[in-house]
Structure 1
Amino acid sequence: MGDLAVAEVCGRFGLGRAVTRGLRLAGYHHNEVWRIDTTTGAYAVKRLGWAPSDTAIEIERAALAAGVPMPGPVQETATGRYTAEIDGGVVRVHRWMDGRAPGAADLTPALARRVGALLSAVHRAGSAGPARQAEAETAHTGTDTVHARTDTAHTGTHTVHARTDTVHAGTDTVHAGTDTAHTGTDTVHAGTDTAHTGTHTVHAGADTAQEEGRSRAVAPYPAGELLAATERPAGRGTPVRSHGDLHPKNALLRSDGSLALLDWDTAGGYLAEREAVGVALDWATRVDGSFDLERFDAAVEGYREGGGKVPAEPWVFGGWARGYLDFLGRAGEEEGERTQARLGMLATTLHDLVKRLA
């Protein structure tokens, strides 16, 4: 789509006069992101190839009003909307927030606990409005939720801001090892738990073990068995309007150690219990696909301490499993292998993980 029309963006969003040409940030694959400095401050400008739903923007605003830390969205002055069509794309603007993506060394049980607590706050804010069962039972599997990444660690030090769909702008550190795609770890909470037919086979390593809090996955595992084991019983699950993709790549670690949440463009209706467990798994997953059980426990504890409820039942793992199984149909060879390793890990440790929730 070419260069950003900086003057038009500033004019339509009331940002003042630009004092820089705009710095396009590296590391984005599905969208384009710039930092613009103006006479009124610094802003993150994101150009997407698709338009976030009104519901997603409502959820973002409700969470911000409830005190969930995030960069504030900016309205287009003429319409009051939070999107504008410019240069053939959909533009969103947020106030700039300094920070960086959490790196592997940052992913501690203490940080996972904070993420769990933040998710409970998001769910409280989402529960304040109308719960939309139809949204909660819709699988969000569009290309807007695909975040293809690699396990390569990048060492850039650009600060990060409100971004969407791919790696954090310029920071690009490895996040919790879940560096392939995130299409429904917590973005697919379908009521139709039989959407997959079990034709995939999940592969992992050669044996299974739990040593020093580290779980290792093993042998090929039929996807149909994993789906059946995590199928949601009728009537179970709490519909909530939520972020839907609270993966480490969508969090901003600030200099004071606090976290802010980014990338609300795929927010919508989800099942609270499945999202909570999906977030715990994402923040516990290592690069090799194994789970850091201390981080998993801490994320769940933080969520529960904030008022969230997670039953010790296998179906709560079903959103994460179905999301990654869905992604296998679109993944490249390398990404597919990593995704299969993660699914194999869940398959072989599901019983133990359910017990940890008790």
Structure 2
Amino acid sequence: MDELTAYLLNVFDLGEGPARLTFVARGAEGQVSLLECDGHRYAVKQPFVTDAGFPDLSAGEDVVRREAGHLAHFARAGIPVPVPVADREGRYLVGLPVGLGGGLVRLSTWVDGTASRADFVPGLHATALGSLLGQLHAAAPPTADPIGPWFRTAPGATVWADLVRRSTGQPWHGALAARQADLDRLGDLVREAPEPTGPFVVGHRDLHPDNVLETPDGRLVPVDWEDVGPVLPDQELAKVLVQWHVDGEEVDASAVRRTVTAYRAAGGTGALRGTGSFTMLLSGELNFLARQGAAALDPATADAHRRHAVAEVQERLLWLPSPTALRHVLDIVLDLMAAG
């Protein structure tokens, strides 16, 4: 047993082993490993940034503890979610010794399932997805927390112009230059939207296909709740419709209808009203694209992180819908609602 595994067993009071820690995947912000011990399985999450963006450990613990409270709320409503695991002292966020690499670590119960897709699959889980989101919104508690800038603002035209200028020679330069006008228009849609005002509810905020696992018994389970926070239900619904049923200019109209129909039947409270409903989707995607582009060009970025950033930029530039595709989604939903 390696030292990190032994440390996790001790600090989270999981017994003395035998145990096995296996790397599973990495994302833009951190990596996930599987810890198996005493017949139990846990997801071990380690952010790449040493402080995970928190001003101190106490502030981070407050954020993660609130997340645990939200997950407990949804679990009581009968929605399957991963369960955060506290350490011996009741903490959910634990610092690692410098000898083990430093940084922070957190555990949750492992969800035995597979990501819904690797590439765009028309119609995949359309009805089940709508039911899941409808249940989440029907059960979502209200919150007075404000929606932060990441989900309501977008980079300006000068950001894209600067990235185009500095990315000459990069494998994604041509694709970025070709989509520069699109990115400007999508940013305008965010800036033209009304300032989001309540009432807000607690939402997952990142229900893209990688974050919804299909279990062996066919259930869909939302994982990776680190972005949980205030949402307007119509904006989370719009984001899910686009991330699951749109690929560039291709819009799966049948899947959009089935997801919205199932969402409403499950008690979902969101109703798309205009292009402003795409604010959360566009602000998050455009901010993420700009951040990954900057990381790919930063000489201080480690090679592994640079390769990941390049892949993320290329994927976003291929997938990100145009304003025309978004309008198509909106028209489908509005026609469905008008028909009752």
Fold match by TM threshold 0.5: yes
Residue number among 180, 186, 190 corresponding to 1:226 in the alignment? 186
Q: Who is 1:68 aligned against?
A: 79
Q: Where does 1:330-345 land on structure 2 (aligned, <5 Å)?
A: 330-332=291-293, 335-336=312-313, 338-343=315-320, 345=321
Determine if the alignment matches structure 1 residue 132 to structure 2 residue 132: no
Structure 2: which amino acid aligns with 1:348?
A: T
Q: What is the CA distance between 1:238 and its match in structure 2?
A: 4.4
* Cα distance in 1 for residues equivalent to 2:118 and 2:3: 33
2: CA distance between counterparts of 1:227 and 1:84? 38
In the alignment, does 2:19 pair up with 1:58? Answer: no
- Root-mean-square deviation (Å): 3.0
Residue 25 and residue 222 in structure 1: after superposition, are their counterparts in 2 closer, same or farther (change >3 A)? closer
Q: Would you say 1:109 and 2:123 are equivalent positions?
A: yes
Q: Distance in 1 between matches of 2:250 and 2:96?
A: 43
Identity of aligned residues (%): 28
1:124/1:17 CA distance change after superposition, 3 Å: farther
Instruction: Name which of 311, 314, 318 aligns with 2:275.
Output: 314
Provide the residue aligned with 1:9 in structure 2: 8
Partner-residue secondary structure (3-state), 1:299: helix
Q: CA deviation at 1:244?
A: 1.1
Q: How does 1:244-259 map to 2 (within 5 A)?
A: 244-259=205-220
Instruction: Provide closer, same or farther for how the CA distance between residues 281 and 238 of structure 1 changes in structure 2, counting only shifts above 3 A.
Output: farther
SS in 1 for 2:115: coil
Distance 1:24 1:337 in 2: 25
| 2:44/2:107 contact within 8 Å kept | yes
- d(CA) in 2 for partners of 1:272 and 1:57? 21
8 A Cα contact 1:60 1:267, kept in partner: no
Aligned pair in 2 of structure 1 residues 236, 47: CA closer, same or farther (>3 Å)? closer
Shift of the 30–298 alpha-carbon distance from structure 1 to 2, 3 Å rule, reads same
Looking at structure 2, the residues matched to 239 and 268 of structure 1 have their Cα atoms a distance apart, in angstroms, of 9
Change (3 A) 1:68 1:198: same
Structure 1 249/334 Cα, relative in aligned 2: closer, same or farther at 3 Å?
closer
Q: CA deviation at 1:303?
A: 2.1
Structure of greater relative contact order (alpha carbons < 8 Å, 6+ residues apart): 1
Cα distance in 1 between the residues matched to 2:181 and 2:286: 12
Structure 2 counterpart of 1:131, one-letter code: T
Shift of the 323–27 alpha-carbon distance from structure 1 to 2, 3 Å rule, reads closer
Measure, in 1, the Cα distance between the counterparts of 2:106 and 2:143.
26
2:214 and 2:11 mapped to 1: Cα distance?
Answer: 30
Say which structure is richer in helix: 2
Gaps of 5+ in 2: 53-59, 162-177, 294-309, 335-340
Deviations 1:248-290 (A, max 9, x none): 111111112211111011211122211111011111133x663
Task: Name which of 88, 94, 101 aligns with 1:84.
Answer: 94
Counterparts of residues 241-320 of structure 1 (less than 5 Å): 241-286=202-247, 290-308=250-268, 309-320=270-281
TM-score after normalising by structure 1: 0.68
